[in-house]
Amino acid sequence: MKFQTQIRYLENPNLKYVLLDFFKNESNLILLDGNASKGDSFEWVVAAGTVDEISVGSERAFEQIQDFHNRHKDWVFGSMSYDLKNGLEHLESKHPDGIQAPGLHFFLPKYLFVYSAHHFVVYHHESADEFDTAVFETDFNGSGNIGFNGIIKARVSRKAYVENVEAIKQHIQRGDIYEMNYCQEFYAESTELNTLEVFRALNRVSNAPFSCYFKLGNCHLISASPERFIKKDGTHVISQPIKGTRRRSTDKEEDARLKS
């Protein structure tokens, strides 16, 4: 059954948070928020509930998601982990994994909400009666309290971190590599966290064009990214990275100016 559609004209700036709060008990819930950035067909999207889903490791992951997409030919949302590389090349990561998120997880939502320029489009596989009044006649009054009471720890000690940076610099100086992103993990265990309030707080201080709130069961992904890895629109494929890039021009004078 394909999505049914409703179109409304709305001006509730908190509607995306109303939706996240209303559907917070769903096992699959996602907000993709462009924060009014230009160049996309929507300002934000919320997908909630599950008609169908796929959750796999690195073995044949891309074949399985292709089969999933071919079967539905509809809006699907999800995430891919870095360790999917292990299914493409003879590589292996041995870092601690305290989250245990699936290598690849995608879902076909029961409800889809697309907002752009005050126009709000609702797509749904089932009746919208269960949320219609609750959503459109409600405002969001968040507590502002993230509810965190744990202790944040670094996975790598300061001494080891400095030693690793020095080793990386030597690799660069020798020409083994020319660019590298070195990351370390900070974590907390046995704690509570109001993830929606964390996302709202992050979005206030980092109004990024590729912000995301993704709930997958007990796993939550909260992101405020300035970068888009890849987008395919018809026959066009674009990438919008930040690090190590600059805009180029076919005009020599403009290209020289951009370089400087």
Tens of pLDDT along the chain (260 residues) come to 466 677 777 777 788 998 999 899 999 999 999 987 776 778 999 999 999 999 988 778 889 999 999 999 899 999 998 888 888 887 777 778 888 888 899 999 999 999 887 788 888 877 666 666 656 666 677 777 888 888 999 999 999 999 999 999 888 888 888 777 888 999 998 888 999 999 999 999 998 999 999 999 889 999 998 888 888 888 999 888 776 555 667 888 887 787 66
Side by side, the strands of the sheet bearing 104-108 are 52-56, 104-108, 77-80
The contacts of residue 130 (CB under 8 Å, 6+ apart) are none
pLDDT at 247: 66
Query: The pTM is what?
Result: 0.82
Query: Residue 156 in contact with residue 164, Cβ under 8 Å?
Result: yes
Contacts of 43 (CB under 8 A, 6+ apart): 33, 34, 35, 36, 115, 116, 117
Is residue 241 within 8 Å of residue 227, measured between CB atoms? yes
The CA distance from 105 to 217, in Å, is 11
- Give all domains of the chain, ordered by start, each with its CATH number: 4-150+191-227 (3.60.120.10), 153-187 (no CATH)
Q: Which residue has the tokens 């020798």?
A: 174
Q: What is the pLDDT of residue 1?
A: 45
Count, in order, helices (H) and strands (E) of the chain.
6, 14
Q: How long a stretch of residues is the chain?
A: 260
Give me the pLDDT at residue 132, please.
65
CB within 8 A of 231, min separation 6: which ones? 237, 238, 239, 240
DSSP H helices in 143-185 = 158-174
Nearest to 55 by CA among 30, 31, 78, 29: 78
